[in-house]
Amino acid sequence: MRIDIVSLFPSMFEGPFDTSMLKKAKDKALVEINIHNLRDWAEDKHKTVDDRPYGGGPGMVIRVDVVQRAISNLQLSIFNKKKSKIILLSPQGKTFDQAKARELSKLEHIILLAGHYEGFDERIHEHLVDEEISIGNYVLTGGELPAMVITDAVVRLLPGVLEEEARENESFSSGENLDYPVYTRPEDFKGWKVPDILRTGDHKKITEWRAEKANKKTELKKIS
Ligand code: SAM
């Protein structure tokens, strides 16, 4: 899979993408992640990518012509357009979830467009992208954190990135179901004890106990 992220602040990605699972996935060539500066597609000497809104109002708006050039350029080397998606990061988009992460992980290519300031010219929403994704009903300063969230959630689902077993019972791996509770040493911390069943070695009973606890957590989350 190839992920192209277009941002006005590419340096924001340096830490998160160079550690832990994402670094390993890149090192093993399971994913190629390219961070691009939108200004590279500006045409004037000041590298302008935004302008004031028509009709007045605060802030700056990202220009449709610059984004069009970025998208066309990034799509040049993509042969299978059906397995490629252009995604606009926007608080107005559909809320991201595990099902969407799974769907995106089956693609060969994604372009994530991270906005800033007042956001994107509406014609980008209307004519240039396949979908709009929000990471929740709140407004962030830019699309960089949403791009990181989506990339992380998608890459960990790619074959070979994690052990299959690690994802088997994971929260949201089937519908809304949550993972079971886990414990490690110390066995007794300030009187907070690890449940006895987990130390019996009876795998059948442990599996049943875990399923029951996972169901209970799922139910509790639904009503909270
Ligand atoms: N004026 C816009 C509005 O009210 O809908 C908000 C623009 S926001 C300050 C700037 C950029 O941050 C957006 O273009 C988008 O790329 C990103 N962004 C902010 N919140 C987001 C969220 N919850 N999910 C995805 N992207 C978000």
pLDDT at 140: 98
pLDDT at 163: 87
The reply to whether 53 falls in a domain is yes
| 159, 182: one domain | no
Looking at the chain, the whole-number percentage of residues with pLDDT higher than 70 is 100
pLDDT one-digit tens code per residue, 106-152: 999 999 999 999 999 999 999 999 999 999 999 999 999 999 999 99
CA of 201 relative to ligand 1 center, distance in Å: 50
The reply to whether 20 falls in a domain is yes
Residue 20's domain spans which residues?
Answer: 2-163
The reply to whether 171 falls in a domain is no
Domain final position from 131, 163, 195:
163
| 186, 133: one domain | no
Report the mean per-residue pLDDT for the chain.
96
| 97, 192: one domain | no
Looking at the chain, the whole-number percentage of residues with pLDDT higher than 90 is 90
The structure's pTM equals: 0.96
The reply to whether 87 falls in a domain is yes
| Total domains in the fold of the chain | 2
CATH code, domain with 201: 1.10.1270.20
**Which residues approach ligand 1 with their CB closer than 6 A?**
89-92, 114-116, 118-120, 134-136, 138-143, 146
| 58, 22: one domain | yes
List binding-site positions for S-adenosyl-L-methionine.
115, 135-140
And the tokens for 219?
A: 């139910």
| 92, 142: one domain | yes
User: Smallest Cα–Cα separation from 131: which of 171, 95, 168?
Assistant: 95
More confident residue, 160 or 80: 160
The residues near 111 (Cβ < 8 Å, ≥ 6 apart) are 4, 5, 6, 71, 74, 75, 84, 85, 86, 87
The reply to whether 30 falls in a domain is yes
The reply to whether 169 falls in a domain is no
| 87, 124: one domain | yes
Mean pLDDT of the 78-107 span: 95
Q: Which of 134, 139, 150 to mutate to test the pocket of ligand 1 (most atoms within 8 A of CB)?
A: 139
Cβ atoms within 10 Å, residue 106: 11
CATH code, domain with 60: 3.40.1280.10
The identity of residue 219, as a single letter, is: E
| 105, 41: one domain | yes
The reply to whether 170 falls in a domain is no
Question: What stretches of the chain adopt beta strand conformation (E)?
Answer: 2-7, 32-37, 50-51, 61-62, 84-95, 109-113, 131-134, 188-189, 192-193
pLDDT at 14: 94
| 76, 159: one domain | yes
Phi, psi of 62 (to 5 degrees): -75, 135
CA of 132 relative to ligand 1 center, distance in Å: 11
The reply to whether 168 falls in a domain is no
**Cα separation, 207 vs 39, whole angstroms:** 53
Residue nearest to atom 22 of ligand 1 (CA): 91
pLDDT one-digit tens code per residue, 112-124: 999 999 999 999 9
Q: In this structure, are residues 160 and 3 in contact, taking their beta carbons and an 8 Å threshold?
A: no
